[in-house]
Structure 1
Amino acid sequence: MMSTRDLVLSALFAAIIVALGILPPITLGFIPVPITAQSLGVMMAGVVLGARRGAIAVLIVLVLVAIGLPVLSGGRGGLAAFAAPTTGFLIGWLFAASVTGYVAERLVRAEQSGLVQTVGFFLASAIGGIIVLYAFGIAYLVVAAGVGLQQAFVGSMAFVPGDVIKAFVAALAGRAVMVGYPLLPARA
């Protein structure tokens, strides 16, 4: 059962993910997936809220998309968003936030130094927000969009430098919240 506080925090991060969609997508041309800032929000939801609340934040966004609200980068929304080349990345957000949160919950402790916490948050963001997210996005491009595995993989590599920067920004955000108002679930 989720507390009201958990639901409010999840809704807040859903709003952050939606707000990051205001930044216009950048298309590269050689792969049908644009660069967006919203994956930063997915990573931040994981590192700040943890696995369960981070995944719920993303689930809220996906429900808003499904009911037709234009909350994705470029003002996209509706069921058509789930039948596009980017669908694997969209669905992958749910798992990315969950895995990012899960790893952060296990790597980061309140008694650690700021550097160790930041590195833990970065690793969590990279594992969940890059590796897990790309696994879903690339798999979907191959299976549903008919793009060859090598083309999907190589094309996706163009996004890695930007996503590493996003993972670093998410790590800094996670550390800042940890200092001022720790929200990661306490672990035994």
Structure 2
Amino acid sequence: MESRAIVRIALMAAVIGVLGMLPGVMLPIAMGVPITAQTLGVMLAGIILGPRHGALAVLLFLFVVLLGAPLLSGGRGGLGVLFGPSVGFLLGFIPAAFVAGLAMERLKALPVFAAALVAAVVGGIVVEYACGVFGLMVMARMSLLQVLVATAVFVPGDLLKALATAFVAEASYRGYPAAIASRT
């Protein structure tokens, strides 16, 4: 791996960490799963870096969090985050970034904005929710219907994050076309 790729991976991991510094919103209906800005970083990681490097950026971020860095919403970090209700969403960051990057690669025929929007929705929402719903069902001992109702409140915000991701991808591409790995 070339040093430029390593730097981009590290920078994207840092962006995800910084987004965790923004205050999260706790909703009682979601059993302690906060609304955070970090999924925006996960979507951007896959779309900007591509599937492999995007997933590596998320893995680096998660490694630092599991070492104890308080980079998750609310200043959480350490191994304890693996035992909370949001573990499915947290571990879902990895496949979400990978699938978002893969979708972005496959949608080369579309304009950058449209491709990034679709990729963010597929990876950052569909895949992320599939992992998160499963984790919430296991950790909170809730039924599928209960979890779907509880997580429905997150969808509008995540759609806005997908839209923001598409705008950032479009602006990045216009300013520096090599910024989007799948378009070079």
Query: Taking structure 1 as the reference length, what is the TM-score of the superposition?
Result: 0.92
Q: 2:127 aligns with which of 129, 132, 155?
A: 132
Corresponding residue for 2:181?
Answer: 185
Instruction: Report the 3-state secondary structure (helix = DSSP H, G, I; strand = E; otherwise coil) of the residue aligned with 1:144.
Output: helix
Identical-residue share of aligned pairs (%): 46
Corresponding residue for 2:141?
Answer: 146
Q: Is the 8 A contact 1:66 1:78 kept in 2?
A: yes
Corresponding residue for 2:20?
Answer: 21
- Number of residues paired by the alignment? 182
- Aligned-residue CA RMSD (Å): 1.5
Give 1:143 deviation, angstroms. Answer: 2.2
Unaligned 5+ segments in structure 1 are: none
Instruction: Between 16-25 and 175-184, report the one with greater CA deviation.
Output: 175-184
Instruction: Report the 3-state secondary structure (helix = DSSP H, G, I; strand = E; otherwise coil) of the residue aligned with 2:8.
Output: helix
- For 2:180 and 2:4, locate their aligned partners in 1 and report how far apart those are by CA, in whole Å: 13
Give 1:142 deviation, angstroms. Answer: 1.1
Give 1:70 deviation, angstroms. Answer: 0.5
Task: Kindly report which structure 2 residues correspond to 1:88-167, keeping only aligned pairs within 5 A, or say none.
Answer: 88-108=88-108, 116-167=111-162
Instruction: Report the 3-state secondary structure (helix = DSSP H, G, I; strand = E; otherwise coil) of the residue aligned with 1:151.
Output: helix
Instruction: Report the 3-state secondary structure (helix = DSSP H, G, I; strand = E; otherwise coil) of the residue aligned with 2:140.
Output: coil
Instruction: Report the 3-state secondary structure (helix = DSSP H, G, I; strand = E; otherwise coil) of the residue aligned with 1:30.
Output: helix
Higher helix fraction (1 or 2)? 2
Query: Taking structure 2 as the reference length, what is the TM-score of the superposition?
Result: 0.94
Unaligned 5+ segments in structure 2 are: none
Corresponding residue for 2:84?
Answer: 84
Task: Kindly report which structure 2 residues correspond to 1:37-56, keeping only aligned pairs within 5 A, or say none.
Answer: 37-56=37-56
Q: Is the 8 A contact 2:172 2:180 kept in 1?
A: no
- The one-character-per-residue Cα deviations of 1:147-180 (angstroms, maximum 9, x if unpaired) are 1110111111110000000000001111111122
